[in-house]
Amino acid sequence: MHSVKLCPSMMCVNPVKLAETLRTFEDGGIEYLHIDVMDGHFVPNFTLGTDYCKALHNISKIPLDYHLMIEDPEDRISWFEIHKDDVVSVHAEATRQLQRTIDRIAEAGGKPIAAINPATPLCAIEEVLPYLWGVLVMTVSPGYAGQKLVESTIGKIRHLRTMLDERGYENVRIEVDGNVSYPNMQRMREAGADMFVIGSSGFLTTDDAQTIAAGIGEFRKIR
Ligand code: DX5
Ligand code: ZN
């Protein structure tokens, strides 16, 4: 089983305290900074953009976990500055060219992840498994922080882990995003997830550095 990686959701970080919060993440050994990029079409919201991601690369060494909730991502991969340890997820529902999008992420030096919404079946990503670094199982409908878990996604994580292992894709990671509270993370881990996006249901309920540090310590207890 892959080791647990914690990926705090940057849209849930108070921008006024960005530098201080990044230091807390570095001290806590945070593996990835999760960046929600929303285009107002694929999801009903706008969030973080290309300049913000560049700024993060300049002020932190933690790799980025781009979550592109944008239509036709194949035409926009080149807009992002992708560093060698960065991971990039694109939604299977957002492109008619999933293979091409994955290829472009890999060509740009990133690690490709295919993301699927709660209502999207696992077969949507079956054919691209040989080309993936990971699969992102959305555990809420993407667009907003602070939503409630879609229960059926726990069973979906379990089915995906079994499918990956049975077909020889043990190396493919499973990321989960949405309502990753402490008890939900325990259930998701038990089902086979290894990358956890932590937002307003996790240790980003506050912008206080000490409280966030304590939260990271708590969440690290889940192994
Ligand atoms: C949902 C976003 C998440 C969100 C998760 O569309 O992709 O990153 O911030 O945080 P929660 O669900 O805990 O508020
Ligand atoms: Zn996300």
- Cα-to-centroid distance, 146 and ligand 1 (Å): 6
- Average model confidence (pLDDT) across the chain: 97
Q: How far apart are CA 92 and CA 99, in angstroms?
A: 10
Nearest ligand 1 atom to the CA of 145 is 14
> Is residue 179 lining ligand 1, measured as CB closer than 6 Å?
yes
**Total-model pTM:** 0.97
pLDDT of 104 reads 98
Q: Which two tokens stand for residue 215?
A: 């939260």
pLDDT recorded at residue 197: 98
Fold of the 5-219 domain: TIM Barrel (3.20.20)
Strands (E), the chain: 5-8, 33-38, 64-69, 87-91, 111-116, 134-138, 173-177, 195-198
Please state the atom number of ligand 1 nearest to the C-alpha of residue 147: 12
Q: Is the pLDDT of residue 68 over 90?
A: yes
Of ligand 1's listed atoms, the one at least distance from the Cα of 146 is: 14
* Per annotation, catalytic residue among 36, 39, 65, 86: 36
- Residue range 1-7: mean pLDDT, rounded: 96
pLDDT of residue 1: 86
The finding on whether 200 has its CB within 6 A of some atom of ligand 1 is: yes
- Ligand 1 contacts CB of residue 201 (under 6 A): yes
- Sketch the domain layout of the chain as residue ranges: 5-219
Residues in the chain: 223
Q: Say how many Å lie between the CA of residue 165 and the centre of ligand 2.
A: 25
Task: Give 222 Cα–ligand 1 centroid separation in angstroms.
Answer: 19
pLDDT value at position 40? 97
Q: How far is the CA of 138 from the centre of ligand 1 (A)?
A: 9
Per-residue confidence (pLDDT) for residue 14, from 0 to 100: 97
Q: What is the mean pLDDT of residues 144-168?
A: 98
Q: Is the pLDDT of residue 13 over 90?
A: yes
Q: Is 103 a catalytic residue?
A: no
Task: Note if 208 is an active site residue.
Answer: no
Residues by chain with Cβ below 5 Å of ion ligand 2: 36, 67, 177
**In the β-sheet with 33-38, what is the strand arrangement from edge to edge?**
5-8, 195-198, 173-177, 134-138, 111-116, 87-91, 64-69, 33-38
Give the rounded percent of residues in the chain with a pLDDT score beyond 90: 100
Residues 19-54 pLDDT 10s: 999 999 999 999 999 999 999 999 999 999 999 999
Q: What is the pLDDT of residues 206-215, one digit of tens each?
A: 999 999 999 9
Contact 177, 197 (CB under 8 A): yes
With cut-offs at 50, 70 and 90, classify the pLDDT of residue 182: very high
Q: How far apart are CA 39 and CA 193, in angstroms?
A: 27
For 86-118, the pLDDT digits (tens) are 999 999 999 999 999 999 999 999 999 999 999
- Over residues 110-142, the pLDDT tens digits come to 999 999 999 999 999 999 999 999 999 999 999
